[in-house]
Amino acid sequence: AQSVTQPDIHITVSEGASLELRCNYSYGATPYLFWYVQSPGQGLQLLLKYFSGDTLVQGIKGFEAEFKRSQSSFNLRKPSVHWSDAAEYFCAVGARGNKLVFGAGTILRVKS
Amino acid sequence: SQTIHQWPATLVQPVGSPLSLECTVEGTSNPNLYWYRQAAGRGLQLLFYSVGIGQISSEVPQNLSASRPQDRQFILSSKKLLLSDSGFYLCAWSFATRMKVEQYFGPGTRLTVT
């Protein structure tokens, strides 16, 4: 069965510092991978997605993620974090029946 | 473009009362529809999904039910709420094709059962 692990429950970075959020997945075939962001009390917004092709994908708000098949990872990165990036981030993998399996989420705090 | 609406935005209901949450999608036809729950400090739990009118699949046994009376309308219901039903309820939609599995989420409904 598909599963997603986000090993970091909380991460705190200083404004302007770089960011990397980790995501590991378990899936038997070529995965469809996603990162979503959720601000407090809001719905989830799609940041980026990987289906095939170039393993480095660009998303909205300056985020990017790299698919590494050998490590079963899809880590999210941003070179310079802004205070407005503080939110919860979810990694997800596509499953049968057009369903998604989500990780438990990582809460990002940004220090000024 | 497509939009998804949920209402109400917040709801406070006593234990034992009924529940009806509504989700509608605009700008697309025959979408897949999903209900999720987020309990405090926990991830997303898929409750129900639907691939068409009247077609509902339940992911976990619970006190809730779902219905899809129209193509772009998805309703989450309960006859008698429990305290454990409190949480943040999210509706989502996706295209029905296998190559477009990303889901788009509504703004959510905060349900507090007292």
Token digits of residue A46: 């799609």
Decide the pairing of beta strands A10-14 and A106-111: parallel
Q: Which phi and psi (to 5°) does residue B79 adopt?
A: -85, -35
Round to whole Å and give the CA distance between A60 and A84. 13
Please give chain A's pLDDT, 112 residues, in tens: 789 999 999 999 999 999 999 999 998 777 899 999 999 889 999 999 998 888 999 999 999 999 999 999 999 999 999 999 999 999 999 887 778 999 999 999 999 9
Q: How does DSSP assign A43-103, residue by residue? A: -EEEEEEE-SS-SEEE-GGG-EEEEEGGGTEEEEEESS--GGG-EEEEEEEEEGGGEEEE-
The predicted-structure confidence for B52-102, as pLDDT tens digits, reads as follows: 999 999 988 788 999 999 999 999 999 999 999 999 999 999 988 767 789
What's the confidence (pLDDT) of residue B60? 82
The predicted-structure confidence for B23-37, as pLDDT tens digits, reads as follows: 999 999 999 999 999
Nearest beta carbon to residue A43 from set B94, B96, B106:
B106
What's the confidence (pLDDT) of residue A97? 72
| Contact yes or no for A44 and B105 at CB 8 A | yes
Nearest beta carbon to residue A34 from set B42, B96, B102:
B102
